[in-house]
Amino acid sequence: MTPHISSKKEDIAKTVLCPGDPLRAKYIAENFLENPRLVNSVRNMLAYTGTYKGRNITVFSSGMGMPSMGIYCYELYKFYDVDTIIRIGSCGAYDEALNIFDTLIVEKSYTEGNFAKALNNKDCHLIEADEYLNSVIKQTSTEENIKCISANVLCGECFDYYVDDLQVLLDRLPKDLHITAAEMESFALFYTAKYLNKKAACLLTVVDSHYKKQEISSEEREKSLNDMINLALESTLKL
């Protein structure tokens, strides 16, 4: 047990999927896992462990933002001996070529924040996903015919729709990184994984765009998120 997780060590699988939303963790457990059981509800940060095609999997919600992700991934890696965490979340598009419901796989995560300095006094603002884990996910995407677009993302500290002048933010981003989307957790996950010599990846579904207004149905939304979830789960079978 930790201050934030009430699970026994044996309750948590070596491979964890991390949606931000606790209710999405519940949805995944109920619709994709066999014999899921609730293994954490501290602060309503729901986690479930079950099997997917015979493999033990934990789905553990991370909450929103780097501080929340930083807590949960650190404790899962450090105290529960988790080897691999795949974040499955949503993002906003900064590239006109991206469409609502595209699935992205994050290559590099950039932040203007100081998560690294706070954790271990390093001046780091750019971190990569685990190369091997990303290669497994890409191979799986081909085999499962689930289109997956490589992307570099901004990991923000503020929800960008509330930023006073988004264009000023976009103009500050390093041009050589070609950042095409924004979310709020991947940097903390990747950095903590590297710090603790673990594996991490991040899959994202585009749910809004600063360039396009697209009409979407609830059925389209569910299918798109299900594509991302299926891709993550099928990838775990190869680890």
- The residue among 159, 116, 135, 126 whose CA lies nearest residue 235 is 135
Among the listed residues 160, 176, 208, 227, the single catalytic one is: 208
d(Cα 64, Cα 235) in Å, to the nearest integer?
24
What pLDDT is recorded for position 223?
67
Query: Is residue 26 pLDDT above 80, yes or no?
Result: yes
Boundaries of domain holding 91:
9-236
At 211, the pLDDT band (50, 70, 90 cuts) reads: confident
pLDDT of residue 215: 60
Asked if residue 1 belongs to a domain, the reply is: no
Q: What is the enclosing helix (H) or strand (E) of 184?
A: none
Q: What is the pLDDT of residue 81?
A: 98
Question: Which of 168, 171, 188 lies closest to 179, judged by CA?
Answer: 171
Mark whether 95 is an active-site residue. no
Number of domains in the chain: 1
Residue 193 and residue 118 in contact, taking contact as beta carbons nearer than 8 Å: no
The answer to whether residue 219 scores a pLDDT higher than 70 is no
pLDDT of residue 214 exceeding 80, the answer is no
Closest to 72 (Cα-Cα) out of 189, 187, 197, 157? 189
Is the pLDDT at 222 greater than 70? The verdict is no
Q: What is the dihedral of CA 142, 13, 155, 20, to 10 degrees?
A: 100
- Predicted TM-score of the model (pTM): 0.96
Question: Which pair of tokens denotes residue 199?
Answer: 């594996």
Residue 239's pLDDT band, with cuts at 50, 70 and 90, is very high
- What does the pLDDT look like over 52-99, one tens digit per residue? 999 999 999 999 999 999 999 999 999 999 999 999 999 999 999 999
Q: Identify the pLDDT of residue 210.
A: 85
- For residue 75, what is the domain's CATH number? 3.40.50.1580
Are the C-beta atoms of 192 and 73 separated by less than 8 Å?
yes
Say if residues 217 and 96 touch (Cβ distance below 8 Å).
no
Tell me the average pLDDT across 94-111. Answer: 95
Mind giving me the DSSP string for 108-135?
EEE-SS-HHHHHHS----EEE--HHHHH
Cβ–Cβ under 8 Å, residues 219 and 38: no
Residue 210 lies in a domain: yes
pLDDT above 70 covers a percentage of the chain that reads 96
Cα distances (Å, whole numbers) of residue 57 to 31, 50, 153? 13, 6, 27
For residue 213, pLDDT over 80 is answered with no
Check whether 220 has a pLDDT greater than 80: no
Q: How far apart, in whole angstroms, are the C-alpha atoms of residue 83 and residue 72? A: 14
Strand (E) or helix (H) holding 166? helix 166-172
32 within domain boundaries: yes
